[in-house]
Structure 1
Amino acid sequence: MHQFHCPDLLPPVIELPEDEAHHATAVLRLSVGARIGLLDGAGTRAIGLVELITKRGCSIHIEERTMVPPERKARIHLAVAPTKQMDRYEWFVEKAVEIGVDRITPVITERSERINLRTDRLHRVAISAMKQSQRAWLPRIDEPTRLKDLLCTDLPLQRYFGWCEGEHRQLMAAYQPHNDALVLVGPEGDFTPAEASRLREGGAVAISLGAARLRTETAALAACTWMSLAQQR
C-alpha cells in the first residue's frame, strides 16, 4: 500500500498536500477508489480511499485511524555540522530518520565549511524516509544554529560530543538508554579546543566511536544506530 504524508488526519475527508497529491495522481496514477496509507508524522496512521481527483488536488476519505506510541523510551537529538557537500547531509538525514531520531539540528561551528542549507529540502527528505521506513513519527529539523546559541537552549542533560583529540569515553560505555540524550558531531576539521572546552563546561562528555576516524555524517549515524539499538535491549 502506498504511503502519503498529511499533517492533519482528523477530518473525515482530507486533502493531500500539493506535492503528495501530484505524486498520487500524476506519478502513481491512482484512481478513485484506491486505498492508501497515511501518516501525519505525529503518531497517527490512517487508511483512506481516494474519493475525488481534480486538477487542483486529491480528496481522501478516512476509513480508520490508529495512534502509534513514541518509538523510543528516550529521545535522541543529533546536532551535526553541515557537510561541505549537501548531498552527504541529505543522505545523513534520510538514514537517521530510517534508523530513528527525534530531532536534528544543523550546528554551525568555527570550522564549519557550510553555514547555509535548505531546511525545507531536508524536511522533504525526512518525510520520504519516514514513509519508506513506515515510521509514524517525523523528527523535528531545526534551522542552522550556532553552537553557542544551541548551548543556551533547553537541551537534554545527557550530552556527548565527538572529539578526536584528548581524553574521551566510548559512547557504548557512557550512554544511558533510559534518558534523553544529545550527541554533537563537528565538521571535517572537528571542534576547536575552545569549543570543546565550552561543551565540557556545559556538561557534555567527549566521546569516541572507535579507532577509525569517521566522516561527519558517518559518525552521526554510528551514534544514532548505537543509541537506537541500546534502547531496544
Structure 2
Amino acid sequence: MREGDKLTVTDGKGFFYECILIQANPKQCMVSIQNSIEKPKGWDYNLRVAFAPTKQMERNEWFVEKAVEVGIDTVIPILCHYSERKDIKTERLEKIAVSAMKQSQQAFLPEIEKLTGFKDIISRPFNGKKFIAHCYDLPKEPLAQHYKKGKNVLILIGPEGDFSQEEVEEAIAAGFEPVTLSESRLRTETACLAAVQTIHVINSL
C-alpha cells in the first residue's frame, strides 16, 4: 500500500476504523483515523470453552480458527490427567485468532488464555452455566437439554483419552453438569466446535 491509500482496521474490541495511510515503510506504518464504526459481537452471553489440547498442533489451531469464525469469548487450554500435550504456544493460537477475526470480518477478538490446570479451572468463579462433556457410562444428557438460552456458559472438553473419572467427579462436585455432545465419539477439536455451535443455535431459536 502507498501513502494516501484508504484502509479499514479494527481494535479487536468491537470497533472498525476507516483510515488513510499517511506513512508507510516495511517495518511500521502510520494512519489517520477518519471514522469509527461500532460492531459489537453478535451475541449477548459469555461463551467459554476449556479444552485439553491435542498432540497435533494443527488440530488445536483448526478449532481456534473455526470457533472465532462462529463466535466465542474465551478459549482456555487445560492440562488434564490424560492430556497428550503438556504445553502449548498460545502466541501461535493468538495469531490464528487474529487471522480468523479479520477473515470473518469481525471486530471482536476472543481471549486465548495460557495453559491452565484442571483443578484451577473448576475452582474458578464463574457466573453462568458450567458443563463437563465426557464419555463415561454415567448419567448425563445432551448439552442442548441442559443449557438455558441467554445464559453465560463454560464448557469443559477433555483429551482424546477423556477426563479421568476422578476429574469428572471433581468437576461435578464443583458445580459442573455432565453432558454429552453427540451420540458418536468425537475428536477433541470436533467436540469443542460442536459445543460452541450448539450454544449459538439454541440462542438463535
Map residues 41-52 of structure 1 onto 2, 5 A cutoff: 41-52=12-23
Give the share of equivalent positions with the same residue, in percent.
35
- Residue 70 of structure 1 and its aligned partner are, at CA, apart by 3.5
1:189 aligns with 2:165: no
Equivalent residue, structure 1, for 2:36 = 65
Instruction: Please state how far the C-alpha of 1:177 moved relative to its aligned partner.
Output: 2.1
| TM-score with structure 1 setting the length | 0.85
> 1:208-227 to 2 correspondence within 5 Å?
208-227=180-199
Following superposition, the deviation at residue 231 of structure 1 comes to 1.7
Contact 2:40 2:108 in 1 (8 A): no
- Is residue 2:204 matched to residue 1:228? no
1:38 counterpart SS class = strand
Could you tell me how far 1:57 is from its partner in structure 2?
Answer: 1.2
Structure 1: 5+ residue stretches without partners? 1-29
Q: Which deviates further from its counterpart, 177-186 or 46-55? A: 46-55
Match of 1:101 among 72, 87, 92: 72
Deviation at 1:31, TM superposition (A): 1.4
Cα shift readout 1:57-116 (whole Å, capped 9, x = no counterpart): 111111100222342121100001010101100111010000000000001100001011
1:36 aligns with 2:15: no
Tell me what 2:100 maps to.
129
Return 5+ residue gaps in structure 2 as ranges.
none
| 1:183-219 Cα deviation digits (max 9, x unpaired) | 1000000011100000100111111112110000000
In structure 2, what is the Cα distance between the partners aligned to 1:115 and 1:96?
Answer: 22
Give the 4+ runs in structure 1 shifted more than 4 A. Answer: none
Structure 1 position 157, deviation (Å): 3.2
Residue identity in the other structure for 1:125: I
**Contact 2:132 2:156 (C-alpha < 8 Å) held by counterparts:** yes
Alpha-carbon distance in 2 for matches of 1:90, 1:56: 27
The CA deviation string for residues 10-51 of structure 1, in whole angstroms up to 9 with x for no partner, is xxxxxxxxxxxxxxxxxxxx1122211111111111111111
RMSD: 1.1
Matches within 5 A, 1:134-173: 134-165=105-136, 166-173=138-145
Q: Is the 8 A contact 1:74 1:179 kept in 2?
A: yes
